[in-house]
């Protein structure tokens, strides 16, 4: 299972008093990497090292000859003192990548400044995941009202109305609480805060209005903005972005959603739960095409039963506004008529303020290496702006890594291979790793295990007995390649799967654990067991 770490037991006990080679360095197998001794003992810099194997010795033993350490791995001379307007790190952007980078840099002893043009927290907190989850909770509550009578809860009336003013105000309260929390954390860590658009210059200065500050390192965390398409009629005021719809205080009778990705599906479900006639238009052959195909198809089936109309393999060619409504002409010759439309075809990096930098780009994204460093040494670009994984929690890790590398030289890589992703519909969908289609293309012979929530005790008791967990593993070592969930608490359970994969546990090792009962996560355990044909609550696999 590709495990290459092993513990080496020291022959003597003691206190670690000197480290010769730090984390990430390549060292010959016979070379001293550290010293043990008595507390307070000092090892002189000129202490004799144990004899190292020569290059010829290593080659004769079939071992790799290590390259000379890179310049950024060699011990640096003490740094000169910082001027009053100078910082170890200037972070441009206060979203997930930015505020994580700023706080991590401060934790490491750096003098840090952060520049933010609007509210802290970025897209996720202000215009994305947090507001959307607030609204999706409303949809979940409404689902609960529909099943209350069947559970013996007799309501005086099942009639209800939606107060959009209160809905938006509550969402704004949630957002304000969290943005204030982020700013409080920055102040507590003594990060200097600059409000305004930061114009970044090649000499590592940043201009905010009439003020200019200088950084030894710059972290560009400017995030992303809503992507747009150039079709006739797209500029109609009745066509909204995800930014606009979250502040909508009047409920439309009908809504056309252009784009069946995560944002379109989540917001479409919110409005469908309010009784709005929702039609989703997606160019791919299924919604959220990055998901495992079987999961995507199951979600589409469930959402259709909830009243959403979903059109796939078709795009919008023109939008016509007339009589205060829209007619969306589709490229298959059909039409969709709606009071309003939501444009949700993804996001693109936000480059405003970075125009003076001649950065190497990958299409419209800032190109970075594994250390999150751009083509300009000392300038890093974590988060959405590099387009690697446009998820807030991936941005957290990239920002943290960028700050550590800015403070200590390039010592840490951002490993995003096992980043989980979730869709907060009802039921939820979540995934980590690769899909079954990708696994078959890459590995050929694979093992697939599944278990359904329909037989899970807690799911049945909660009226949430729909969906399944699917585990993909390689046939030889039972290494886990992907986990896919559609069902209750999927977004929570996927974190366990991500930890399992990051720790390189095999299916066999995972099955040594015990999962509590009754819990939703028993379904994931049984899906792992089904990989080997050992699931207790599944029919026997055919030989």
Residue of 267, 228, 197, 220 whose CA lies nearest to 91: 220
> Which residue(s) pair with 414 in the sheet?
none
The contacts of residue 120 (CB under 8 Å, 6+ apart) are: 94, 95, 99, 179, 182, 183, 186
393 is an active site residue: no
Q: Dmax of the chain from CA atoms?
A: 87
Phi/psi at 81 (nearest 5 deg)?
-65, 150
The contacts of residue 279 (CB under 8 Å, 6+ apart) are: 254, 255, 256, 257, 308, 309, 310, 311, 336, 338
Q: Are 102 and 400 in contact (CB under 8 A)?
A: no
Neighbours of 166 (CB within 10 A): 10
Neighbours of 7 (CB within 10 A): 4
Burial of 107 (0-12, 13-18, 19+ CB in 10 A): middle
What's the gap between Cα 65 and its chain centre?
37
Separation between Cα atoms, residue 454 and residue 93, nearest integer Å: 45
Active-site residue among 21, 408, 515, 517? 517
> Which residue(s) pair with 116 in the sheet?
195
Torsion, Cα 135 137 142 144, to 10 degrees, reads: 170
Residue of 330, 318, 262 whose CA lies nearest to 295: 262
Strand-strand pairing, 340-343 and 239-241: parallel
Q: Among all residues, which ones are annotated catalytic?
A: 517
């Amino acid at each position: 299972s590709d495990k290459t770490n092993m513990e080496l037991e020291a022959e003597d006990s003691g206190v670690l008093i000197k480290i010769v080679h730090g984390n990430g360095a390549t060292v010959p197998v016979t070379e001293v990497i550290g010293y043990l001794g008595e507390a307070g003992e000092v090892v002189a810099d000129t202490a004799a090292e144990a004899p190292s194997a020569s290059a010829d010795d290593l080659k004769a033993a079939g071992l790799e000859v290590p390259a000379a350490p890179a310049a950024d791995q060699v011990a640096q001379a003490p740094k000169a003192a910082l001027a009053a307007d100078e910082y170890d790190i200037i972070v441009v952007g206060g979203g997930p990548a930015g505020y994580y980078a700023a706080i991590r840099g401060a934790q490491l002893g750096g003098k840090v400044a952060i520049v933010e043009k609007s509210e802290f927290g970025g897209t996720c907190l202000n215009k994305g995941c947090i507001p959307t989850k607030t609204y999706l909770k409303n949809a979940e509550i409404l689902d609960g009202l529909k099943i209350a009578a069947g559970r013996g809860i007799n309501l005086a009336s099942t009639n209800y109305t939606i107060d959009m003013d209160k809905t938006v105000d509550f969402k704004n309260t949630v957002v304000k609480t969290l943005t204030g929390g982020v700013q409080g954390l920055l102040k507590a860590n003594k990060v200097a805060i600059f409000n305004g658009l930061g114009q970044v210059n090649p000499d590592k200065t940043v201009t905010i209005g009439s003020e200019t500050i200088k950084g030894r390192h710059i972290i560009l965390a400017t995030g992303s903005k809503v992507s747009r398409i150039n079709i006739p009629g797209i500029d109609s005021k009745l066509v909204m972005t995800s930014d606009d719809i979250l502040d909508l205080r009047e409920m439309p009778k009908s809504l056309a959603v252009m784009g069946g990705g995560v944002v379109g599906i989540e917001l479409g479900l919110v409005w469908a739960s309010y009784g709005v006639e929702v039609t989703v238009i997606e160019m791919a052959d299924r919604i959220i095409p990055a998901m495992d195909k079987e999961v995507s198809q199951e979600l589409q089936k469930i959402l259709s039963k909830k009243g959403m109309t979903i059109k796939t393999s078709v795009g919008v060619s023109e939008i016509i506004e007339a009589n205060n409504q829209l007619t969306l002409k589709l490229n298959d010759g059909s039409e969709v008529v709606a009071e309003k439309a939501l444009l949700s075809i993804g996001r693109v990096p936000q480059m405003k303020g970075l125009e003076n930098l001649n950065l190497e780009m990958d299409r419209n994204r800032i190109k970075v290496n594994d250390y999150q460093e751009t083509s300009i040494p000392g300038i890093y670009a974590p988060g959405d702006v590099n387009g690697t994984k446009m998820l807030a929690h991936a941005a957290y890790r990239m920002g943290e890594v960028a700050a550590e590398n800015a403070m200590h030289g390039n010592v840490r890589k951002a490993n995003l291979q096992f980043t989980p992703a979730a869709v907060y519909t009802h039921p939820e969908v979540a995934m980590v790793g690769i899909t079954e289609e990708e696994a078959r293309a890459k590995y050929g012979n694979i093992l697939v295990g599944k278990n359904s929530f329909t037989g899970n005790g807690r799911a049945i008791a909660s009226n949430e007995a729909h969906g399944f967990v699917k585990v993909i593993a390689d046939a030889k070592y039972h290494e886990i390649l992907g986990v896919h969930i559609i069902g209750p608490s999927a977004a929570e359970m996927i974190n366990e799967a991500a930890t399992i994969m990051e720790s390189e546990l095999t299916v066999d090792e995972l099955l040594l654990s015990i999962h509590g009962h009754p819990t939703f996560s028993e379904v994931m355990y049984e899906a792992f067991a089904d990989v080997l044909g050992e699931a207790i609550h599944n029919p026997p696999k055919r030989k």
